[in-house]
């Protein structure tokens, strides 16, 4: 399953604060709740979901993490960890491998830009499917199947 929120947002390339840039990005794609300029950035920066993305998957992008390592590093529960891992997996931005019986995770291809290219492919396929469905509905209407 692929799931992403697509909203029309301004480019934020003029933002010089890394944490704020990451937070806006994660909010814009629907991984974290919607933020605004008045949002308390300290609460976001200290949250499990933000630290998982930034500290584990961006800063250490080449590293594969086991769930136990992530739970220990983030000082969080298994259910909270998997809730956030699943959101990242739905975005297709996370890579999962099996090492024996143990699953390990990292940002796809160990690089955010490469991972994002997978997201774009999924978006293009979803839009194409929507277009095909619209064309099909329109052809049914034109052929008197309404």
Which of 81, 77, 94 has the alpha carbon at shortest distance from 29?
A: 94
Give the confidence band of 146 by pLDDT, cuts at 50, 70, 90.
Answer: low
Each residue's pLDDT tens digit, 45-89: 999 999 999 999 999 999 999 999 999 999 999 999 999 999 999
The domain segmentation of the chain, as residue ranges, is 43-142
> For residue 75, which of 102, 115, 48 has the smallest C-alpha distance?
48
For the segment 9-42, what is each residue's pLDDT rounded down to a tens digit?
888 888 899 999 999 999 999 898 888 878 899 9
- The rounded distance, in Å, linking the Cα atoms of 21 and 70 is 23
Crossing angle of the two packed helices 78-90 and 67-74, in degrees rounded to 10: 110
Q: Token pair for residue 107? A: 């940002």
Alpha helices in the chain (DSSP H): 18-28, 41-45, 48-51, 67-74, 78-90, 112-142
Supply the pTM of this predicted model: 0.86
Q: Above 90 in pLDDT, residue 125?
A: yes
Given the candidates 2.60.370.10, 1.20.1090.10, 2.40.10.220, 1.10.10.10, the CATH classification of the domain at 43-142 is 1.10.10.10
């Amino acid at each position: 399953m692929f799931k992403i929120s697509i909203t029309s947002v301004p480019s934020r390339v003029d933002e010089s604060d890394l944490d704020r840039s990451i937070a806006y990005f994660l909010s814009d794609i629907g991984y974290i709740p919607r933020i605004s300029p008045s949002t308390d950035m300290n609460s976001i920066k200290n949250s499990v979901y933000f630290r998982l993305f930034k500290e584990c998957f961006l800063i250490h992008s080449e590293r594969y993490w086991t769930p136990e390592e992530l739970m220990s590093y983030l000082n969080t529960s298994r259910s909270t960890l998997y809730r956030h891992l699943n959101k990242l997996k739905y975005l297709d931005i996370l890579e999962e491998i099996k090492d024996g019986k143990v699953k390990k995770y990292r940002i796809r291809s160990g690089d955010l830009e490469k991972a994002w290219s997978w997201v774009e492919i999924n978006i293009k396929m979803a839009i194409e499917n929507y277009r095909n469905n619209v064309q099909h509905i329109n052809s049914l209407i034109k052929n008197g199947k309404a």
